[in-house]
Amino acid sequence: AESVGGWLGFVPDNDPFVPPPGECPWKESSSLQIKSAAALEKINRNAFIQSPDELKAAKPIKGLKLPKSILHVLLADWDYVTVQKKNYRLPQDPSVLEILTQYETSIDKTYDQDMSPGDRERFAASLREYFEALCRTSLLYDDKERKQFDRMAKDERYFSCVDFYGGEHLFRLLSKLPELLSGMPESSVKEFKWAHSDFVRFCERNLTTLVEDGHVFLRNS
């Protein structure tokens, strides 16, 4: 089977929020700049869609559904930032890195028993690379959030944005994956859906610890 690391898709070259090739979105922090450049390079190297024409013809991957509980988190998240005009207090606990690490080591029988620790580790690594490459340019709602990102990026205590963002921002990435990976070869789609489903089940089962008021979102789903 194709390694999960090969699932990385592409950065759409006609997306106004994506920097031109070679331009790093993290200009204020050398450590974050290195991480961003490496992630973007890998995404570009594994690009399945190369031209704007191919991008227009591509269709989002079907079947990457999110449960109601996570959709409720996303709706509340959008309202909190765009309607109430608030920012999350950073760093969040748990961080994206801590969530992915917890998933990598999970052995709960409620998830897919065919997923090995190695499978989970590779999928988590792919999500991390996407998050690091796209966070500032595609996962933040407004300039206020981007300014907050820039302030955190200057803090030498944090090597990457996965160290100071949490579950809400990780779920934003999950909501974008169907379009981000629309150019994925059919041979890889089934395997990706399998791993995606496993990770989503992990998130839903642990929602009370991943986001604030997670128990409320579970109760109302």
Contact partners, residue 88, CB within 8 Å, separation at least 6: 80, 165, 166, 168
Q: Which pLDDT value is given to residue 27?
A: 31
The domain spans of the chain are: 4-219
Q: Which pLDDT value is given to residue 216?
A: 57
More confident residue, 125 or 182: 125
- Look up the CATH number of domain 4-219: 1.10.274.30
Q: Which of 194, 136, 135 is nearest to 170 (CA)?
A: 135
Q: Which pLDDT value is given to residue 23?
A: 36
Task: Give the count of beta carbons closer than 10 Å to the beta carbon of residue 153.
Answer: 23
- Distance of alpha carbon 115 from alpha carbon 121, whole angstroms: 10
Q: Which pLDDT value is given to residue 190?
A: 79
Mean pLDDT of 90-100: 96
Q: Which pLDDT value is given to residue 185?
A: 74
Mean pLDDT of all residues belonging to the chain: 73
Q: Flag whether pLDDT at 46 surpasses 80.
A: no
Q: What is the pLDDT of residues 174-211, one digit of tens each?
A: 988 887 777 777 777 778 888 888 999 999 999 999 98
Q: Flag whether pLDDT at 102 surpasses 90.
A: yes
Q: Which residue type does 125 have?
A: A
Under a CB-based contact definition with an 8 Å cutoff, are residues 177 and 61 in contact?
yes
* Burial of 89 per CB tally in 10 Å (0-12, 13-18, 19+): exposed
Q: Flag whether pLDDT at 114 surpasses 60.
A: yes
More confident residue, 58 or 130: 130
